[in-house]
């Protein structure tokens, strides 16, 4: 099975590399053309996509999971910032117009395939922004692999929103599986355009199983709001 998946993984790389528009990390421009780079990310097919050629020495797989109605630009700097020679960087594109559960199950399956085909990987790091953080709550409670997984939810309404809680039967996480580290990065509600008009802060949950880190008011001299919170985390995160 491992040999079969390694072949499939190679074929995926080969097919992507033949497309000049494919968003390889080394072609992304986080400074001058992040909008176009973000559009390339969001043009990916649904599923887990590698953003670089595997060097077979990676020990950590870093996976970005976008939020609802994302334009992708908020991920360009973080993905390029987090990439190192011992890390395999990937992006999970999913149908954020639907309920998150089926996409969470699919991501879980694809991560397990990734581990089977890449035996050097010793750890998975998941970063989910906004609604993407809701998707990652499934992993907090249901991860069963022996490979450690680190989950970072960023500016995510983990307490739930009526549109998600009612239509998708979402409940905030209540317990943490073994081999899971969970970190929640919270924006300041009044500075976050996604949350500021709500009656309460949907980021606040009573869950002792994870670490909470509050984001500051400003980032690089500007208001630290919803989308640029991912860039702040990329600068601060240590794993």
Kindly report, residue by residue over 216-228, the tens digit of the pLDDT: 999 999 999 999 9
Tell me which of 3.40.50.2300, 3.40.50.720, 3.40.50.1820, 3.40.50.620 is the CATH number of domain 2-236: 3.40.50.1820
Model pLDDT, residue 186: 98
Average pLDDT per consecutive 10 residues, the chain (239 residues; last block may be shorter): 50 45 85 94 96 93 98 98 96 97 98 96 98 98 98 98 91 95 98 97 94 98 97 97
pLDDT digits (tens, 9 = 90+) for 145-196: 999 999 999 999 999 999 898 899 999 999 999 999 999 999 999 999 999 9
Burial grade of 181 (CB within 10 A; 0-12, 13-18, 19 or more): middle
Model pLDDT, residue 19: 45
158: left (phi over 0), alpha (psi -120 to 50) or beta: alpha
Model pLDDT, residue 124: 98
Domain ranges of the chain: 2-236
Burial grade of 17 (CB within 10 A; 0-12, 13-18, 19 or more): exposed
The distance of Cα 129 from the centroid of its chain, to the nearest Å, equals: 6
159 CB neighbour count, 10 Å cutoff: 16
Model pLDDT, residue 14: 42
DSSP 37: H
pTM of the predicted model as reported, rounded to 2 decimal places: 0.92
């Amino acid at each position: 099975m491992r040999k079969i998946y390694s072949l499939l993984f190679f074929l995926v790389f080969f097919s992507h590399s033949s497309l000049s528009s494919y968003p390889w990390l080394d072609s992304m421009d986080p400074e001058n053309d992040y909008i176009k780079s973000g559009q390339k990310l969001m043009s990916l097919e649904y599923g887990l996509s590698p953003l670089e050629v595997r060097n077979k020495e990676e020990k950590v797989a870093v996976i970005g999971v976008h939020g609802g109605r994302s334009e992708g630009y908020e991920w360009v700097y973080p993905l390029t910032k987090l990439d190192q020679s011992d890390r395999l960087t990937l992006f999970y594109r999913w149908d954020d117009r639907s309920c998150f559960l089926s996409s969470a199950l699919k991501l879980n399956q694809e991560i397990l395939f990734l581990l089977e085909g890449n035996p050097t990987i010793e750890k998975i790091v998941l970063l989910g922004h906004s609604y993407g953080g809701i998707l990652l709550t499934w992993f907090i409670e249901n991860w069963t692999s022996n490979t450690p997984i680190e989950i970072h939810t960023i500016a995510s309404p983990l307490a739930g929103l009526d549109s998600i809680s009612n239509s998708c039967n979402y409940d905030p996480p209540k317990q943490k599986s073994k081999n899971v580290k969970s970190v929640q990065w919270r924006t300041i509600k009044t500075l976050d355009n996604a949350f500021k008009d709500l009656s309460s802060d949907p980021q606040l949950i009573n869950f002792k199983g994870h670490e909470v880190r509050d984001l500051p008011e400003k980032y690089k001299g500007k208001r630290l709001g919803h989308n640029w919170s991912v860039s702040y985390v990329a600068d601060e995160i240590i794993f």
